[in-house]
Structure 1
Amino acid sequence: MTAAAGERTRAHGWRIIAAQECRDLWLSGRGPLLLFAYAVLLSAVTYLAATNQILNFLEQRESVNLVLQIAVAVGVLLTLVVAADAISGERERGTFESLLLTPVSRGAIVLGKLVAAMSLWGAAFLVSVPYLWVLGKGVAVVGEAVALGLVIGTVLALSMAAIGLVISAVSSSNKVSLAVALFLMLALFAPTQLPAMPTSSVGDLLVRINPVTAGMHYIQLVLLKGHGWTQDLTYLISPVVAVVAAVVALAVAGPRIVRLAGGVGSG
């Protein structure tokens, strides 16, 4: 390899890694299998929501909000799981050493894996759009729901993907990485399944500091309450802080923690 070719490889290394990781994710069957399970879940939820809508138990806006929240939650969960497997999984499969020997920086490896994990969120979001259209057709809510899902879901998915990569890099095994990631998701998403959002000042604070509950509550306020997009922007503070903090932490720590063995090292 010439010096010029080597420089080009280093400059575009993240694109090479991202393309390779996307091929592994989608051609190996993992990505399509996860999307199929995701579509089955959305089909079941949409059918139940549509049935309740016909029986007048749910209004169209409520149905769309329900499906959108589940679509975002599960799509973000899938993104976190894929990211949590990205490094620790390769270590256990014995393919990580060859990746580290490629002429790209470790930062490029991290960025490439982040892009690949986000590709699953992008695909999941596209799958959810027809379900939202079916439930919301005839009511001017589908476009707004799609835009909300894209913005809020992408912010949450990016933060969870970055956190998942950090967990994957420092975990001693793939089982540990996936267990920690799933526990984190349970801790963040469990409050969204409570019967009603707390109305006290303490309850509102708890909603706001959790990026997931804050993002979901923002979606609910816009879709169900008819609030303007700029009316409740304070609920987006914690999601934005989470994504910035996670991405910066991954960018700073990534080159140090991407190693053949789990843990943080000096080089």
Structure 2
Amino acid sequence: MTRTLTDLPAELEQGLRAGRIVPYLGQHVLSLVPDYAVPGSPEALVALLTAKVSVPHKIRGRLTQAAQFIENFKHRKTLVDQMNTAFAAAPHYSAMHSWLASLGVPLIVDTWYDEAMAAALQAAGVKWGEVQGLSQSEHFGTWTGWYDSDGNPLPDRTPDWQTVLYKPIGSSNPAGNYLVSDSDYVEVLTEIDIQTPIPAEIQALRTGRHFLFIGCRFNDQLTRTFARQIMKRSSDTHWALLSEEPTRMEAKFLAEQNITRIDMSLAEFAARMAPLSEAA
């Protein structure tokens, strides 16, 4: 049975500030950034993609299948160009992003293609860099790409980074790396159970740490699989902000992974946390 809290546990802020808790961001955090004109959900993204390329009606609302159709019949470059266009707007970020950036936590996981968290880290002035998942159709045999805060490619992380931003499904910046089509995910899911697509540095950083899921839903198999594999061999206590009643599969996942549901909206959480950032 899923454990549910209606307020923030006392250890949450302390654990975040001490680096014991990993923020894990989902696409819904963009609801806090209304002036950032990029798609904030798979539904919004697939609507943009299919507005420019005709795809069969039965897959028009399914992001990975529609992306695969575009890749197959219009070429991978067309798909990447469309993704770049969808996420081309200058990044904006919320007070919550600023607060997270100011903490200097060792690891932040961000599971959407936008640049809000990266922009907040850059503005905070912390030493940071990122690692992104790579499509095997474009980078066969190489699962991830490392970049410094200026977007320069690197062989791996540098020792002076205070925060590593992990973008497991890619990002629009700096190189337009995207896991978005069916074939992209098939390649990763074939290997993810043995952790091949997850960098050793990320595996080390998650060890013994807790996760706080912010702006995430777990109502499809892809999001559950990525979360399960990224948090593997971490601690056995985690939290998720989820004001909506979880679906049956979400509730099962939360219970299975010992994730305590915090029944609080993103807006309320951000309002509670932003003053802490200002005070700091």
Structures share fold, TM-score greater than 0.5: no
Greater share of residues in helix: 1
Greater share of residues in strand: 2
- TM-score of the two chains, using structure 1 as the length reference: 0.29
- Bigger radius of gyration: 1
- TM-score of the two chains, using structure 2 as the length reference: 0.29
